[in-house]
């Protein structure tokens, strides 16, 4: 995974084994995974991995901009390894998170300044949706 090593170095982090496998898991296998999702996907091949290692590694990644924290339905932390700027649509029924491409659905432009001298650095939009799976009538 040479480009994962480079990705860690660019973020100013040492490329340790757990960091590499967790970065790989976020980037390749899962979409907006929870700590539990990542742990479950890795534990079979890496039985010595602990949940707290996953949690701490994600915390480091988030602080160094390698992935971003997603607030979705429920209390569980989820992370997003998609580097491109995008917004999220969160299903109010099942809590699934969908990526919304800003090229297709652009953001409204934010004001440059908010009250109390707050300088606007960015804007993030979260759509509240009902996904197509939840819209279908329940079977039975
Ligand atoms: Zn849904
Ligand atoms: Zn996303």
Q: Does some domain include residue 63?
A: yes
Mean pLDDT calculated for residue range 18-47:
89
Residue-level pLDDT at 73: 58
Boundary residue ending a domain (78, 107, 124): 78
Question: CB neighbours of 4 closer than 8 A, spacing ≥ 6?
Answer: 15, 20, 23, 24, 27
65-124: pLDDT as tens digits = 888 888 655 667 889 887 677 899 989 998 888 999 999 999 888 888 899 999 888 888
Residue-level pLDDT at 74: 63
Q: Is 67 annotated as a binding residue?
A: no
- Cα 19 from chain centre: 16
Are 7 and 35 contained in the same domain? Answer: yes
List, as ranges, residues with CB under 5 A of the ion ligand 2. 80, 82, 99
- Nearest CA to 121 out of 85, 73, 83 is that of 85
Q: Does some domain include residue 140?
A: no
Residue-level pLDDT at 10: 93
Residue-level pLDDT at 140: 55
**Could you say which ligand is closest to the alpha carbon of residue 72?**
2
């Amino acid at each position: 995974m040479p480009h994962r090593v480079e990705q860690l170095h660019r973020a100013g982090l040492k490329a340790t084994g757990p960091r590499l496998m967790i970065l790989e898991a976020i980037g390749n296998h899962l979409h907006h995974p929870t700590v539990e999702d990542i742990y479950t996907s890795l534990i079979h091949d890496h039985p010595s991995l602990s949940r707290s290692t996953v949690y701490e590694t994600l915390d480091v990644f988030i602080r160094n901009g390698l992935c971003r924290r997603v607030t979705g339905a429920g209390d569980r932390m989820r992370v997003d390894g998609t580097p491109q700027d995008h917004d999220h649509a969160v299903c109010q029924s099942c809590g699934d998170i969908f990526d919304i491409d800003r090229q297709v659905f652009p953001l409204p432009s934010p004001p440059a300044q908010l009250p109390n001298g707050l300088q606007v650095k960015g804007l993030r939009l979260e759509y509240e949706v009902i996904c197509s799976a939840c819209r279908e009538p329940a079977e039975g």
